[in-house]
Amino acid sequence: MIEAIQPLAVGIVGAGGMGRRHAHNLHHKVKGAMVAGVYDLDAGRTAQVAAECGAAVFANPYELIADERIDAVLIASPDDTHADFVLACLQHHKPVLCEKPLATNPADGRRIVEAEAAAGRKMVTVGFMRRFDPYHVAVKEAVASGSLGQPVLFRGIHRNAQAAPDLPRHLIVTGSAVHDVDSARWLLQQEVEEVFAHGRRIDPALADGAIDLLLLQLSMSGNCLATIEVYISARYGYEVVAEIAGERGAAVTAAPNLAILLRQRRRAAAIHGEWLERFQDAYVIELEQWLQSLRGRPFTGASAWDGYVALVVAEACIASLHSGQPQSVRIAARPGLYSEQ
């Protein structure tokens, strides 16, 4: 008699755009899991997503996390709630996928790392979903094959169509550039030693001091350099490029397989409008591999340590923006739990 494998019951904290997409993917695209509970500060959003997935409605996120019907937690709530919710998951020994950023400052990120290290097993993954994007994985495989020779440079381009009118001054760093920093670390397998950050306000509709154009120059631990350009008022669409150049060649994420439209003496290709569209495949693969890891399979996603390091680098970028000078990146000792990374 083959015993049916019970689907993993996932609780979702945060039912805004990202949380709703994760719920949709879990319910309709991912096998071996179900959305068992939903919480959002907005009761209407909670009810809507719970109804779509046949999930229980929770009026309190900590009750969802503690509920014995919940096997694992997915956090897609506002950034400033992430640290406390992740710590609550660790207290209840619930594996958790937390959307980036892990926290809003390195100190809170360090608290999570130390709590997980004390628990003695990895339970936290951070939603740096580009690690599951087939185009980024192809670049990673090209580097690993040795065909490029020794890597020398990471180049990241990150374009959003439009920034929110009330854009917080440093969100371009903590909410956008952290993806590119993680890609540089992950593709090169090197650490960031120094950053030099330059920022500008381009869109006049943004508040004084807001930054919608960011340029980062990174010095990496293995003698590599990295340049990252983040422009979140690009207007024309949403695009992400990651390239590794080596001593003998280079590999770059190809433009996703979009049709070239030929008409009226013009040649054009559609461009994605935003990240949910561009990275839909990556989000599904990320969920599938996360859930498989909960059943014992290896996992290549970002750990709490990666989430913490991204916060330390982001803080150094902000310091460089303030000083107008390069800023060294100092990372505290890595606990043994993350030593094989």
233 is a contact residue toward ligand ISE (CB under 6 A): no
Task: Confirm if 64 and 11 have CB atoms less than 8 A apart.
Answer: yes
Which residue, chain included where needed, has tokens 């009026």?
59
CB closer to ligand ISE out of 160 and 253: 160
Alpha helices in 56-127 (DSSP H): 61-66, 82-91, 106-119
Q: Measure the CA–CA gap between 37 and 20, rounded to whole angstroms.
A: 12
Q: To the nearest whole angstrom, how small is the minimum distance from the Cβ of residue 240 to ligand ISE?
A: 7
Residue 71 · residue 294 · CB < 8 Å: yes
Q: Which one of residues 25, 160, 303, 327 is an interface residue with ligand ISE (CB under 6 A)? A: 160
How far apart are the C-alpha atoms of 341 and 339, rounded to whole Å?
A: 5
The CB-of-47 to ligand ISE minimum distance in angstroms stands at 25
- Report the chain's C-alpha Rg in angstroms: 20
If one asks whether residue 82 binds ligand ISE (CB under 6 A), the answer comes out as: no
CB of 172 to ligand ISE, least distance (A): 8
Nearer to ligand ISE, 168 or 326 (CB): 168
Interface map 162-181 toward ligand ISE (x if CB under 6 A): -------------xx--x--
Q: C-beta of 243: minimal distance to ligand ISE in Å?
A: 17
- Report the distance separating Cα 218 and Cα 200, nearest Å: 18
* Token pair for 205: 């509709």
- Identity of residue 279: F
Q: Is 305 in the site for ligand ISE (CB under 6 A)?
A: no
Nearer to ligand ISE, 57 or 161 (CB): 161
> Is the CA virtual torsion 75, 81, 82, 84 positive or negative?
negative
Q: Does 272 bind ligand ISE (CB under 6 A)?
A: no
- Which residues, 105 to 144, sit near ligand ISE by CB under 6 A? none
Residues 6+ apart with CB under 8 A from 20: 45, 49
CA 155 to chain centroid: 18
61 touching ligand ISE, by CB under 6 A = no
CA-CA-CA-CA torsion sign (168, 17, 290, 226): negative
Asked if 25 is part of the footprint of ligand ISE (rule: CB under 6 A), the reply reads no
Cβ 233 to ligand ISE, closest distance in Å? 11
x/- binding map, residues 177-216, to ligand ISE, per CB under 6 A?
--x-------------------------------------
**Closest distance to ligand ISE from the beta carbon of 186 (Å):** 15
The count of residues interacting with ligand ISE (CB under 6 A) is 6
Q: Where are the beta strands (DSSP E) in 208-265?
A: 213-220, 225-231, 239-246, 250-252, 260-263
Binding residues for ligand ISE (CB under 6 A): 160, 175-176, 179, 232, 275
